[in-house]
Structure 1
Amino acid sequence: MSRTAAITGIGVVAPGAVGREPFWELLTAGSTATRTITLFDAGRFRSRIAAEVDFDPRASGLSAQQVRRMDRAAQFAVVCAREALADSGVELGRVDPGRVGVSVGSAVGCTMSLEEEYTVLADEGRRWLVDHTYGVPHLYGFMVPSTLAVEVAWEVAAEGPTALISTGCTSGLDAVGHGAALIEEGSADVVFAGATDAPLSPITSACFDAIKATSPSNDDPEHASRPFDAERNGFVLGEGAAVMVLEDAAAARARGARVYAEVRGFAGRSNAFHMTGLKPDGKEMAEAIRVAMAQARVGADDIDYINAHGSATKQNDRHETAAFKRSLGDRAYRVPVSSIKSMIGHSLGAIGSIEVAACALALDRGVVPPTANLHNADPECDLDYVPLEARPHRMDVVLSVGSGFGGFQSATVLARPGT
């Protein structure tokens, strides 16, 4: 019997909104959560803005020991997993732990803790040979990205397949795709799938400053993230996480669960071209979209909404606009497209899972989130990018895409249950 992965629980920690419902309210209001960086002194950097999460781990239910042990990214993931579990109504005590899996994505792992610890061990950079005796007991865990998946597995007592997916900025989409595959192939009955990243640190800012990828609009941070706008000047870094509970759709219906959406198709491709560059024709993203749609058994005319990568760099926005036209033909001009990065920034590996959560909520509630700050569209980006205001819209099938450094291109198709 074929199996389809269904999303039955959603947990979100996002800039401006900790929790699923505050997150949805922020998106549909078209509010922006980008601001001047407060997590560290960014005065020396070209770009001094970010989309930060106002996050208190103790208020979010983590113990003092968990806070001490976990990097900020792990804290986000565990809090999301708890919310997703409660939302799903799954009683883990009735599920064989060996049938519970975890698929977590992350682009940069425990960046914040690693940088903080290096600063201490190197005496603020003065020592080339670091003094290991100053290292905290959890330093090894910070160095191993799989710690993020392990923390979620410990939280939900998962003894089934557990993996950390690290494919740059497509990590979140890829982790959900991997989790859905575990359900489809019968390797697990419940999977906690999503991604997390907390990259807001000096080293990350320095790296993106060096290639001038981030916006220098420091005097107007609320309007700095402008996907598809002719005046855009780079993306705005963010942080956050989303975790979803995936189950077999038939089993979810049998227990009377609320199903937000079904994961009908997923595909990933690589451009094998350049670490940060993209070909303007969008061929590889278009191929990922084509394969994901074929797997979902839908055609171009079935796509009702596209959640774009929409990073607010010229090469990305034009690349994926070309990919939509290449894969969907004339339908690309008639389907609404939007980028939630305009509101919550680009949280690297985490953003894909946050966008999947947004797509599932959009399907469930019949509203397309807007592209904030889009006042003057780039003439080369001539599709319907839902500027400024959310739009009520009946959706049965939605497409979410991602593009990552290294040439990664991913596409996911979600569908309303029963369609």
Structure 2
Amino acid sequence: MAKAIAITGIGVRAPGGIGVKAFWELLTSGRTATRAMSFFDPAPFRSRVAAECDFDPVAEGFTPREVRRMDRAALLGVAAAREAFADSGLAAGAVAPGRVAVTVGSAVGCTMGLEEEYATVSDGGRSWLVDHTYAVPHLYGYFVPSSLAAEVAWAVEAEGPVSVVSTGCTSGLDAVGYACALLAEGSAEIAVAGATDAPISPITVACFDAIKATTARNDDPEHASRPFDRSRDGFVLGEGSAFFVLEPLEAALRRRAHVYAAIRGFASRSNAFHMTGLRPDGREMAAAITAALDRARLAPADIDYVNAHGSGTRQNDRHETAAVRRSLGHHARRVPVSSIKSMIGHSLGAIGSIEIAACALAIEHDVIPPTANLREPDPECELDYVPLVAREQRTDTVLTVGSGFGGFQSAMVLTGPDAVPR
């Protein structure tokens, strides 16, 4: 990456607490925010566990009109973006609106709004010919994912490049990576970038039930998400959002902004193999990791912590372990690895950005979040997966990775603001 990009503002809406402080306290405590689904009656479904946000849009300052207009994913995204912008210390009007970019990642867009409205216009699915007059006036906004980016852009008064990135479960990583490219090429002075997803709805649960990707551990929701554990049986569906204010590191230092971390390298690859399957050798993820390290001008031995995708499915955890071994070589057995999905579930496209927030905070505090519920390590996953308890350790350089349906594999390297690539 030609330019290091600074993270100067962070906003998070995640299960277990509202805001960055509550998010970090949950992660470092090793507590889990997974529980029985409460948004609808999950009785007909195989997996009835979720990681839900205790999110009240009215308490967050949204007007009744905004709540009526916006899908839950948009509300979560705007709330996180507002927090990030306030955290950045940028004064209103400090940057010309035309020089502010917005990039939003999302895997499933406005799923909750679309499903609720379909149920309404079809009378609960009983009418094949639906009656559109029963729909909310803003149904089209639910239909087009671009509405998510528009809402964030309006909230931060951005008039520069505005875009949506939808690459499945790597959307949150890829959206931030794209924003870094916009800043590096000079298309914007700052970017508000991140991701949001609110997929906990019957249609999403049914889809993952069909392929048995989600856990069936309904009798123990708090311990259902078990990445890298021998007894894992799938991921816990989650929701949430994380956004960042990004700017070139030199510019951030000139204005004496607080810099959480610097993004040094990003890369993505596709396996062109299978919609949901993964090759066990992890070749494509390893290629993305190697490319991100090359762009950061760092070596495998420089990595202090790996934030794993760690979904808790059997094939992902084996695939990812192989990718880390292939890309980091002998250092793979020495570097700590953990998955925060063990605590906050898998929020699909949003999780990549939420994990970037965790990485930036790990650098800020020199603390590595644990992998909760990891009590019986799978012998096929033999790396140092930091079980149960957070680890205090100097953390200057962090690698975060993501894997998404469709064969998407992404990797990003972050460092402390004072770290200088070789």
With the length of structure 2 as denominator, give the TM-score of the two structures: 0.98
**1:416 partnered with 2:416:** yes
Q: Which residue of 1 aligns with 2:44?
A: 44
**1:304 partnered with 2:275:** no
Q: Which amino acid aligns with 1:251?
A: A
Contact 2:260 2:417 in 1 (8 A): yes
Deviations 1:315-349 (A, max 9, x none): 00000000000000010000000000000000000
Tell me how far apart the structure 2 counterparts of residues 197 and 117 of structure 1 sit (CA, whole Å). 18
Deviations 1:149-174 (A, max 9, x none): 11000001100011100000000000
Deviations 1:100-124 (A, max 9, x none): 0001000000000000000011111
Q: Which residue of 2 aligns with 1:24?
A: 24
Tell me how far apart the structure 1 counterparts of residues 265 and 91 of structure 2 sit (CA, whole Å). 27
Q: Which residue of 1 aligns with 2:137?
A: 137
Tell me how far apart the structure 2 counterparts of residues 248 and 66 of structure 1 sit (CA, whole Å). 33
Contact 2:264 2:413 in 1 (8 A): yes
Q: Which residue of 1 aligns with 2:223?
A: 223
Shift of 1:388: 0.1
Shift of 1:133: 1.4
Q: Which residue of 1 aligns with 2:277?
A: 277
Tell me how far apart the structure 1 counterparts of residues 77 and 295 of structure 2 sit (CA, whole Å). 29
Q: Which amino acid aligns with 2:364?
A: D
Contact 1:303 1:399 in 2 (8 A): yes
Shift of 1:128: 1.2
Tell me how far apart the structure 2 counterparts of residues 370 and 310 of structure 1 sit (CA, whole Å). 12
Deviations 1:351-375 (A, max 9, x none): 0000000000000110000000000
Local SS of the residue matching 1:133: helix
Tell me how far apart the structure 2 counterparts of residues 41 and 265 of structure 1 sit (CA, whole Å). 43
Contact 1:194 1:243 in 2 (8 A): yes
Q: Which residue of 1 aligns with 2:185?
A: 185
Contact 1:121 1:135 in 2 (8 A): yes
Shift of 1:94: 1.8
Q: Which residue of 1 aligns with 2:286?
A: 286
Tell me how far apart the structure 1 counterparts of residues 301 and 179 of structure 2 sit (CA, whole Å). 27
Tell me how far apart the structure 2 counterparts of residues 114 and 159 of structure 1 sit (CA, whole Å). 28
- Structure 2: 5+ residue stretches without partners: none
Q: Which amino acid aligns with 1:56?
A: D
Tell me how far apart the structure 1 counterparts of residues 282 and 224 of structure 2 sit (CA, whole Å). 25
Local SS of the residue matching 1:316: helix
Shift of 1:4: 2.2
Tell me how far apart the structure 1 counterparts of residues 38 and 126 of structure 2 sit (CA, whole Å). 25
Contact 2:3 2:264 in 1 (8 A): no
Q: Which amino acid aligns with 1:392?
A: E
Tell me how far apart the structure 1 counterparts of residues 218 and 94 of structure 2 sit (CA, whole Å). 52
Local SS of the residue matching 1:325: helix
Q: Which residue of 2 aligns with 1:112?
A: 112
- Give the count of matched residue pairs: 419
**1:234 partnered with 2:244:** no
Tell me how far apart the structure 2 counterparts of residues 387 and 63 of structure 1 sit (CA, whole Å). 42
Local SS of the residue matching 2:268: strand
Q: Which residue of 2 aligns with 1:397?
A: 397
Shift of 1:289: 0.2
Shift of 1:130: 1.0
Q: Which amino acid aligns with 1:87?
A: D
Tell me how far apart the structure 1 counterparts of residues 86 and 163 of structure 2 sit (CA, whole Å). 22
Tell me how far apart the structure 2 counterparts of residues 148 and 328 of structure 1 sit (CA, whole Å). 37
Contact 1:4 1:183 in 2 (8 A): no
Q: Which residue of 2 aligns with 1:377?
A: 377
Tell me how far apart the structure 1 counterparts of residues 271 and 248 of structure 2 sit (CA, whole Å). 33
Tell me how far apart the structure 1 counterparts of residues 17 and 240 of structure 2 sit (CA, whole Å). 10
| Percent identity for Structure 1 against Structure 2 | 69
Local SS of the residue matching 1:389: coil
1:5-404 correspondence to structure 2 within 5 Å = 5-404=5-404
Shift of 1:62: 1.1
Tell me how far apart the structure 1 counterparts of residues 42 and 124 of structure 2 sit (CA, whole Å). 16
Tell me how far apart the structure 1 counterparts of residues 213 and 122 of structure 2 sit (CA, whole Å). 29
Tell me how far apart the structure 1 counterparts of residues 311 and 95 of structure 2 sit (CA, whole Å). 40
Local SS of the residue matching 1:50: strand
Shift of 1:131: 1.1
Shift of 1:17: 1.3
Shift of 1:3: 3.3
Q: Which amino acid aligns with 2:167?
A: T
Deviations 1:284-325 (A, max 9, x none): 000000000000000000000000000000100000000000
Deviations 1:63-112 (A, max 9, x none): 11111110000000110011101111011312110100001000000000
What is the alpha-carbon root mean square deviation over aligned residues? 0.9
Shift of 1:418: 1.7
Contact 1:264 1:415 in 2 (8 A): yes
- Structure 1: 5+ residue stretches without partners: none
Local SS of the residue matching 1:103: strand
Tell me how far apart the structure 2 counterparts of residues 243 and 215 of structure 1 sit (CA, whole Å). 28
Contact 1:51 1:344 in 2 (8 A): yes
Tell me how far apart the structure 2 counterparts of residues 149 and 191 of structure 1 sit (CA, whole Å). 12
